[in-house]
Amino acid sequence: MFIIKTHYSLLLSLLLLAACSQQKTGRTEAVSKAGLASNRQEMPQLRDLIDHLGLQGSVLIYDVEGNIYHSNDFGWADSRHLPASTFKIPNAMIMLESGIMASDTASIKWLGDERMFKSWEQDMTLKQAFHRSCLPCYQQMTRQLGFKQMQQFTGKLIGYGELLYDSTTYDRFWVEGSSGISQMEQIEFLQRLYQEKLPFSERTYQLTKRMIVAQSNAHYRLSAKTGWSIVGDQNNGWYVGFLEADNQLYYFATNLTPKEKFDMSRFSKIRKELTFSAFRYLRIAKKDWEEFQ
């Protein structure tokens, strides 16, 4: 039994790197529930690690050049969960396209209400609200947009799971209710965003792509968003995005649910740590890259 304490993220990497030599190379053909035919390759070592850590869920990585989906659990990757704050990606596009926000640097005024985090109790740009995951900021913009326009714009989000809401829930359906999106569908949406195949303007695409960059250097650019929903006593966490590295493109969507004995103080970071460990396991991350954060 492993003891996981202070060197938590390092342990994830070491466990998966140690398993690289045992990586299976067999590929199987499958058709996703979302309708795209693709190769699927299992990552059993990652499956065992997620289970050992006291989690349920999967990391899904799509290698564009190889046309291969990698995951520890394709059944989980095809199942739907509340989009939570990952919906801030399409929601930001909606606010930009509608003109509610003039640009990613336009200000969202704090109305003086008490919020969950003190860091939310201030004026913010759209980009700041995105990276701070300011739920009340996005709710405020959504109310300004209005129910009918929200219906019109979400109708343009081709293939974005199933969004269920009415005039009383349109400002929070992504964090509560019966809406859902799968990891496969997250990646399909991100592909349409990257390839600019949704009915949005070129300006909206460019502002959105600029806004969602999490970090970059000479070797890679990482664009991503986390998400976290709580329904009753059940937590569910996301980490989705795409990685441009050395002229290669990878899409990813991680979705995790903690088991009863999981240390919830680690849940915020574990979504990213497992995703980056999976990249290292697939030998995508290089030694000379700065450490992912």
Residue 216 annotated as catalytic = no
Whole-number Cα distances in Å, 208 to 123, 191, 235: 20, 14, 28
User: Which of 136, 132, 138 is CA-nearest to residue 150?
Assistant: 138
| Owner of token pair 């930009």 | 96
Could you tell me which of 217, 214, 221, 223 has the C-alpha nearest to residue 288? 217
Q: Where are the beta strands (DSSP E) in 52-153?
A: 55-63, 68-71, 80-81, 107-108, 124-125
Positive or negative, the CA dihedral 65, 68, 71, 75 is: positive
Q: Which of 58, 71, 85, 277 is catalytic?
A: 85
Q: Count the residues in the chain.
A: 293
AA identity, residue 85: S
Rounded CA gap, 153 and 171, in Å?
A: 13
In 77-219, where do the E strands start and end?
80-81, 107-108, 124-125, 181-182, 213-216
Catalytic residues: 85
